[in-house]
Amino acid sequence: MKILVGISKAPDTTTKISFTDNNTKFNEDKVQFIVNPYDEWYALVRGLELKEKNGGTVTTITVGGTDHDPIIRKALAIGADDAVRINTEAADGYMVARQIADYAKDNGYDLILLGKETIDYNGSMVGGMTAELLDMPYVSVASKLEIEGRTAILERDVQGGIEVVEADLPLVVSCAKGMAEQRIPNMRGIMAARTKPLNVIEPSDAKGLTRVVEYNLPVEKGEVKIVDAENMDELVSLLHNEAKVI
């Protein structure tokens, strides 16, 4: 089974966000970058588990410049067999999906796994777009994935519940919590990652359809109003009369 896993770069979850160039660029100064958690913890690890069970290969794919190599090496250290980097800066979700689809269409993958969203742009769109461009079925926000022969059995979030669904391979899946447990790379993995193939591929001509024109930070809250722990009637009154939320 050939598995392709989308790996993207994201600022560490503890990052304090700020912007430069008149609020048009994310300030990367002193930011620690990590593998997007959904890509790493769920998509990649589940891909590896399925490979260990059913045989096959796990290839990662990333759209980005050389600054992405450290997080790609991390994915290789966790256990991916090889990596592909499309050598261009990501413009938007559509452009990334086009690049992935343009690469994947001639390479016969059985399963394309991605995180349910990235923790920077939170669009949850690359999976659906990739599936559409490749004319494959797509299961979004899946928390379980098993493969039996050429059939995938999944659980996914729907309004008000969890749905058990089946689909034939090839298939695109966006992965969420529940699908796998985080794996910490061991020393042997880290050593092996140095020599695993990282293939740099030039991009197709796909362009973005949207762009960010301005970033803003939320307005800071005023001073917190402390209410006496004995006097919850006062809190209720404040919530009703002042905040007007109950």
CB of 231 to another protein, least distance (A): 9
Which of 50, 152 has the CB closer to another protein?
A: 152
The alpha-carbon radius of gyration of the chain (Å, integer) is: 21
CA angle 203–213–200, rounded 5-degree value: 15
Contact 27, 18 (CB under 8 A): yes
Residue 119: closest CA among 41, 172, 65, 57: 41
Residue 130: closest CA among 112, 150, 155: 112
CB of 6 to another protein, least distance (A): 13
Q: Residue 164 and residue 161: Cα distance in Å, rounded? A: 10
CB of 95 to another protein, least distance (A): 11
Which of 123, 189 has the CB closer to another protein?
A: 123
Q: Residue 213 and residue 211: Cα distance in Å, rounded? A: 6
Which of 187, 226 has the CB closer to another protein?
A: 226
Residue 154 φ/ψ, nearest 5 degrees: -130, 160
Which of 36, 62 has the CB closer to another protein?
A: 36
CB of 229 to another protein, least distance (A): 3
Which of 184, 224 has the CB closer to another protein?
A: 224
Which of 20, 199 has the CB closer to another protein?
A: 20
CB of 47 to another protein, least distance (A): 19
Residue 51 φ/ψ, nearest 5 degrees: -65, -45
* DSSP secondary structure letter of residue 90: -
CB of 116 to another protein, least distance (A): 8
